[in-house]
Amino acid sequence: MIFLLDTNVCIEALRQRNAAVVRRLAATPASDVRLCSVVKAELYHGARRSQQAQTNLVKVENFVLPFLSLPFDDDAAREYGRLRADLESRGAVIGPNDLQIAAIALVHGMTLVTHNITEFSQVPSLNLEDWQATP
């Protein structure tokens, strides 16, 4: 199984704040974990806005290094358009960055690892895991 990490999971791992996330990530081969350009953008944004921007940018760079990163490409754009139209028709809109992340996960057949289950569960056929809920 290939996992796509959502931003909230990356932050928990970067801050070493959640033992379950740190443990699960350490136990999962890097070859089974993916990031995407949208998540990386959110991580870089957060690092730059922090009180210790340079230190946190280095932490982000080191964190993302072992993982393959997938772009928001044309296939993901088509899936995004399909998903957004479907969700809007059902009155179940989610944030644009989350929608991009979901589209990337679906296009590549990956399981999205997130703590934001409520929002992402609105996306049909999206496989989800919450490593923060794991004991």
pLDDT digits (tens, 9 = 90+) for 71-108: 999 999 999 999 999 999 999 989 999 999 999 999 99
Tokens (6 digits) for 70: 């997938």
Contacts of 92 (CB under 8 A, 6+ apart): 122
The answer to whether residue 18 sits within a structural domain is yes
Q: Do residues 125 and 106 touch, judged by C-beta distance below 8 A?
A: yes
pLDDT digits (tens, 9 = 90+) for 114-123: 999 999 999 9
Asked, for residue 134, whether it belongs to a domain, the answer is no
Q: Helix or strand or coil: residue 116?
A: coil
- How many domains are contained in the chain? 1
Check whether 134 has a pLDDT greater than 80.
Answer: no
Residue 109 Rama label (left phi>0; alpha psi -120 to 50; beta) = left
Range of the domain at 45: 3-129
Please report whether residue 108 resides in a domain.
Answer: yes
For residue 17, pLDDT over 90 is answered with no
Give pTM, 2 decimals. 0.95
135 inside domain: no
Q: What integer pLDDT is reported at residue 93 of this predicted model?
A: 87
Which amino acid type is present at position 75?
A: D
Query: Domain containing 116 — which CATH number?
Result: 3.40.50.1010
